[in-house]
Structure formats: C-alpha cells, structure tokens
Amino acid sequence: MSEYLSTSKKKVTAPAFFKMKQAGEKIAMLTAYDYTTASIIDAAGVDCILIGDSASNVMAGNENTIPISVEQMIYHARAVARAASHALILCDMPFGSYQVSREEGVRNAIKIMKESGVDALKLEGGIEIIETVKAIIDAGIPVCGHLGLTPQSVHKFGGYGLRAKEEAEAEKLIADAEALDKAGCFAIVLEKIPAVLAAKITENVNCATIGIGAGNGTDGQVLVYSDMLGMNRGFRPKFLRQYADLYTVMTDAVGCYINDVKTVSFPNESESY
Ligand code: KIV
C-alpha cells in the first residue's frame, strides 16, 4: 500500500480543521462531483472533498460557474456524500443562492444540507456577505469562506488573473479574512493571490486556510481533480501540478477498445457465455 493511503478511517469534521492547523498538519482537499470519483478520492485518504461549483465547467462544459443551480449542486453533492466515509464533504453554494438576502441564503443553505447530506458549505466573498455567513453558522452549518479570485465574480474582475497584487486589494482581503474568521468560519479558501499575502493571512486567522495558486504558506491545498489528473489538455496554469496524464491513458484505452471491436478480437471466447 502506498504511504499516502489513509490508515485511519475516522471521519474528518469541521472542528478537526482547527486541530490540524494547530498541530501543523497540512490539509489535502480535492474536488469531486460524482460517486465513482469521490469513492476513489476518499479511499486514497484525502481530508476534504469539495463539490465545487466548478462542476459547471468540468461536468457540464459551461464557460464559467455562473449557470449552475442549487438543484444541480444538490444532485452532484448527494452522489459525492454517498461515496465518502472519511473525508469532510464540503459543497459550494452556487451563484445567486446567497447574494440576494440573508434569509434566502439561510433557506438555500438549509435546503442543500437537508437534500444532499454534505457536512459543510462554502460561500465566495467577505464583509459584503458577512451577515449571511453568520446566520448560516447560527443555523448550525459549518461555513468555509472563499477569497481572492472568486470565480462567481468573473465578470466583475474581467477574467481569472492574479488577485490582490495592489496594496488596497490586499488590505481589503486581510480585513475580509479577519471578518470571516471572527464570524466563525472553520476554513477559508484563498485562490490565486500572492504567496506572501496568503501566508500573512494564515498567521492572522484561527481558522484553516486552504490555498489554490496561493503558495505553500497556507494550512492546506485544494485542486480540481480533473486538472491534477491531467484529464483536460487545455488548462495549464502555473499553480497546477499534474500528477497523471489520464487524457492519454483514457484515449489510448478507448482507441484499443475501438480497434478490438472493429477487428472482432473483443469479445473473445472467454469473454462470452
Ligand atoms: O469550485 C471549485 O472547484 C472551487 C475550488 C477551485 C476552490 O471553488
């Protein structure tokens, strides 16, 4: 058995994130959107599986995360929750489900929790959504924040570039992280910001920080599973480490299958009844 495989099957909880931070144990998070993939990722021993709204891109082929609905997120989240026995299951609240009002945010948060069986929810934004974050936590739901590059605001930013390069945005990000921490978030995802800033925020807050394109000074890392497994040829940002080339593995396997069918070498006698 490879050494990274989990020996302990104890369920990871939101409070465990604080303990891992205090103990200096880095937190490994990956996305998943379906039962089969989540089963594999959970068996490998990852600490947290995120049903990201990146399902909009990865599963549905949309250009961004804007179109995915609460119902579609629940569909993916339910499949992942069924698969995972070890990892904390964290689900994104999709665009439009918490920005209108605090009441609507809490109602949608409760709906996702009741209908999907996930353990916690993630919302993008800082001080501007802090009352909603507090109300969701008050309802008994663990919340993970998400700052820096927040893809639901892609049209406001005008793209997916590095955030908080300038002093003013960095200061705002520090204030947002402190507000989320004070509100009781168990973690904050920091996406595509300078490594020095992410490390500073990590020192400033009690909750765990999880980086993506934010250097190694955070308390953990998250990647989109299909990117780190090399399932898509086009997406190669600097922050991405590709651990496999499944695009090649899968196209080669499918090519072999097509050839076997065409040449009538599949199925053979032992594969027939
Ligand atoms: O939706 C997502 O996959 C995410 C991660 C990139 C953090 O939010």
Give the pLDDT of residue 2: 53
- 39: part of which helix (H) or strand (E)? helix 35-43
* pLDDT band for position 1 (cuts 50, 70, 90): very low
Q: How many CB atoms sit inside 10 A of residue 70's CB?
A: 19
Tokens of 71: 């119902």
Q: What distance in angstroms lies between residue 125's CA and the mean position of ligand 1's atoms?
A: 13
For the chain, list the strands marked E by DSSP: 27-31, 48-51, 88-92, 120-122, 143-148, 187-191, 208-212, 220-223
Local confidence band at 212 (pLDDT 50, 70, 90 cut-offs): very high
CA of 30 to the centre of ligand 1 (A): 9
User: Residue 117 — φ and ψ, nearest 5°?
Assistant: 80, 20
The confidence score (pLDDT) of residue 4 equals: 57
- CB within 6 Å of ligand 1 — which residues? 31, 50, 52-54, 92, 189, 191, 212, 222, 224
Percent share of the chain, pLDDT over 70: 97
Mean predicted confidence (pLDDT) in 2-12: 67
- pLDDT at 61 > cutoff 80: yes
Q: What is the per-residue pLDDT for 233?
A: 86
CA-closest residue to ligand 1 atom 8: 52
The pLDDT of residue 234 is: 86
Q: Pick the catalytic residue: 191, 203, 269, 271?
A: 191
pLDDT averaged over every residue in the chain: 96
Six-digit token pair at 28?
Answer: 């490994």
pLDDT tens column, 107-165? 999 999 999 999 999 999 999 999 999 999 999 999 999 999 999 999 999 999 999 99
**pLDDT average, residue stretch 40-48:** 98
For 185-190, what is the mean pLDDT? 98
Q: In the predicted model, what is the mean pLDDT of residues 165-185? A: 98
